[in-house]
């Protein structure tokens, strides 16, 4: 039991830190966001809401300049002011922005925020256990190696979440009659919109899958779900 005490303390600490982070995020979003009122986007979200039998899909604008979408731990959906500004400049279509909203709704519907709380705590426990073990054989670098290995696992888990949210968005875009073309076209232009360098870094270290792979997964899902039944 004594040997497990440091790990249990790390898990408890991780839970406290996570809850504090959720609280701070909620306060930040409350202070720096307003509900989306764009009529064109509202009509698209109404179509998506009807497809999943929801009264409405509430979307908020988070007043920061980076282009991004966010599913908050409390289930609220946000797009950033930077994303909305890109839409108003004509760099992003209303349907493409609707695909972002569908993706973030997927994170909420699939419980990714709650799962990440468990994952975050588990990763801290694993990192501590690995560090204790590796330091016996690699003094001085065991903790660094443990952090690197757990970061690889965390990145892979994040990519799985992104693929799942993409699949949810694909299904929702199809069900609402919007189609998947906006979802795919947004991924093709996202690198330029965010100022990213295509192909930079090792794909297996990224928390989000590369655009080409996401588009291929969308097309595979669409082909499977829309295939005419045999006979």
| Higher per-residue pLDDT: 97 or 192 | 97
Q: Is the pLDDT of residue 37 over 70?
A: yes
Q: Is the pLDDT of residue 5 over 70?
A: no
Give dist(CA 20, CA 40) in Å, integer. 37
Q: Per the domain annotation, does 229 fall within a domain?
A: no
What tokens does 180 get? 């998947």
Residue 170 · residue 208 · CB < 8 Å: no
Q: Per the domain annotation, does 231 fall within a domain?
A: no
Residue 125 · residue 10 · CB < 8 Å: yes
Q: Out of 35-44, 68-77, 116-125, 187-196, give the one with best mean pLDDT.
A: 35-44
Residue 89: Cβ within 10 Å count: 8
Beta bridge partners of 34: 61
Burial string for 121-148 (b: 16+ CB within 10 Å, else e) reads: bbbbbbbbbbbeebeeeeeeebbeebee
Q: Per the domain annotation, does 113 fall within a domain?
A: yes
Q: Per the domain annotation, does 204 fall within a domain?
A: yes
Phi, psi torsion values for 77, nearest 5 degrees: -115, 135
How many residues make up the chain in this entry? 231
Q: Mean pLDDT over all residues of the chain?
A: 81
| Higher per-residue pLDDT: 158 or 8 | 158
Q: Which domain holds residue 146?
A: 5-224
The model's pTM: 0.77
Q: Per the domain annotation, does 230 fall within a domain?
A: no
pLDDT of residue 175: 96
Q: Which of 96-105, 125-134, 172-181 shows the lowest per-residue confidence on average (mean pLDDT)?
A: 125-134
Residue 124 · residue 13 · CB < 8 Å: yes
What is the number of domains present in the chain?
1
Phi, psi torsion values for 78, nearest 5 degrees: -130, 145
Residue 187 · residue 214 · CB < 8 Å: yes
| Higher per-residue pLDDT: 92 or 132 | 92
Q: Where are the alpha helices (DSSP H) in 5-111?
A: 5-31, 39-51, 81-88, 94-109
pLDDT of residue 190: 86
Give dist(CA 154, CA 159) in Å, integer. 9
Q: Is the pLDDT of residue 204 over 90?
A: no
pLDDT of residue 186: 96
Give the tens place of pLDDT for each residue, 75-90. 899 999 999 999 999 9
Q: Per the domain annotation, does 148 fall within a domain?
A: yes
Residue 121 · residue 156 · CB < 8 Å: no
Q: How confident is the model at residue 198 (pLDDT cuts 50, 70, 90)?
A: very low
> How, if at all, do strands 69-71 and 33-35 pair?
unpaired
- List the one residue out of 49, 81, 78, 43 whose CA is nearest residue 64: 81
pLDDT of residue 24: 77
Q: How far is CA 26 from the centre of its chain?
A: 17
Q: Is the pLDDT of residue 130 over 90?
A: no
């Amino acid at each position: 039991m004594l040997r497990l005490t440091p790990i249990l303390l790390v898990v408890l600490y991780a839970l406290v830190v996570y809850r504090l982070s959720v609280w701070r995020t909620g306060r930040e979003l409350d202070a720096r966001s307003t509900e989306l009122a764009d009529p064109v986007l509202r009509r698209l979200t109404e179509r998506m809401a009807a497809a999943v039998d929801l009264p409405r899909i509430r979307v908020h604008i988070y007043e920061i300049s980076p282009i991004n979408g966010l599913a908050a731990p409390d289930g609220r959906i946000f797009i950033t002011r930077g994303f909305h500004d890109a839409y108003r400049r004509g760099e992003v279509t209303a349907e493409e922005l609707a695909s972002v909203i569908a993706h973030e709704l997927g994170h909420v519907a699939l419980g990714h925020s709650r799962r990440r709380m468990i994952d975050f705590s588990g990763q801290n426990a694993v990192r501590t256990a690995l560090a204790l073990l590796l330091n016996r054989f690699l003094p001085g670098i065991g903790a660094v190696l443990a952090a690197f290995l757990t970061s690889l696992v965390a990145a892979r888990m994040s990519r799985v979440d992104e693929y799942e949210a993409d699949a949810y968005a694909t299904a929702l875009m199809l069900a609402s009659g919007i189609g998947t073309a906006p979802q795919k076209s947004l991924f093709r232009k996202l690198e330029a919109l965010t100022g990213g360098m295509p192909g930079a870094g090792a794909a297996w270290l990224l928390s989000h899958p590369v655009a080409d792979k996401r588009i291929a997964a969308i097309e595979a899902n669409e082909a499977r779900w829309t295939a005419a039944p045999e006979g």
